[in-house]
Structure 1
Amino acid sequence: MKIISKFSDYYDIGLAYGIDEKLRFNRVEKEIKSNIKIQTNSIKTNYIKDFKFFEIEFYFNFLGFCGKIYPFIKIEIYKIKKENKQYSKKLIFEEFCFTQKSIIDSLLKHLNMNQIEQLQKYRWDKSKFIYKIFEEFKEIEYKGLFDLFNLHKIPYFVAEQYYQKIERKQYKSFELKFRYISNPILKNYKFIQIKNPMEAFQEISMYLGEINHMENETIKIEDKYLLQSKGFDKFSFKKMPKN
């Protein structure tokens, strides 16, 4: 597979083992317009450490790769400051987690296990621990995402949550939405947790090869049959014979 791209990715190491000039991957990262509806929300919670305030936010995202969908959670930790009666927050940590274990490992970089277990999804429900949210997340319905593979002929994409600012006359608000990006930089999402470089390279090559094969095998209808299917016959573009 020959990769035509303006950026590098972690699986490009596969190019060192040879390039198939007949199979080309035009790797362009761009946003995809989609009307897919996914019912999910982000989760925010707070904690205090060393007399300082912090906010943790969990975003529920999906990465489509070679015909499969991999749910993952993006964790953001902010340090909260109060100056002149105004609160501000600064991003101090960001991580992408594809497994329950990786969520706990990420949180352990800032909290101990006892503190993690005290983080609840809902304050009124002490049984909904934050570190168990991945189990619930995997049950979300996301079948509509599979259509993006065939519709855009792409080997992979990401569906990620973001807050869109909405300007109103008297106040500002934010709405949680999904953006869809084709051929994103996989190393930025730590996808190596799921596929090592050679696995990713080989699967992309095989997936694109299958797409090319299907396109080449498309049956070409002869002109005369194509005309008949449109309601024309051999006299449609000629003068009718005289009796």
Structure 2
Amino acid sequence: MAAVSSDPPNGDGKRTLVITGASSGIGAATARAARQAGWRVILSARSGDRLERLADELGGPEVALPVVCDVTDFDQQQRLVERTLEHFGRLDAFFANAGFGARRGFLEETPEHWRAMVETNVLGVAYSIRAALPYFLKQGRGHFLVTSSVAGRRALPGSLYSATKFAVTAIGEALRQEVAETDIKVTLIEPGMVDTPFFDERPTGALEADDVARCVVFALEQPPHVDLNEILLRPIRQKL
């Protein structure tokens, strides 16, 4: 059975998805999967060169627009939404995916690394919501997807990263409740261990970025009346 489009009844079929953290890992894999599903994508990250290469791979500016953006800067996030509307004329979904981690242990990393991680993982998600929500409310629909983690459901020893993902999980649920009387959807994506550049030493037996990307597209492709709020996925044999 063919996937049911979430495009509005009178839409032009050119659904548009913004992805932060799109230059590698889950973000880049999601961009490829979304393009295969017929979405136009806005690729956002701090690395302009990587974004441009990915945009070219996906078909160029008619379907894939690279926009350099630091998610910890609210003005840049607002500009990201503006560029999307200027270029494609619509915004249907926003995947707040940008984030990074830290070594476990409260005597590890530097305070500066901690600050950057908290600002990116937590404040960056809140800024994404604040930038896109007014447009979604105005048009009466939209879809927020947010990358949390298994680590946002269970604390890990010495992990400030886990604390940031607990915050992201709470943000997603708080947003869902806020927009519950509208046609705006909210989906938390909560992967277990994923083999991405996130790790200095690549894990074995982990999920691939493509596995997570398929889940994102699955959520996007649900019928208009279905709001898929959480997708928790682990590699087989991951116990916790």
TM-score grouping bracket, smaller chain normalisation: under 0.3
Structure with a larger share of its residues in strand:
1
TM-score (norm 2): 0.26
Larger Rg: 1
Structure 1 or 2: more helix by fraction: 2
TM-score w.r.t. the length of structure 1 is 0.26
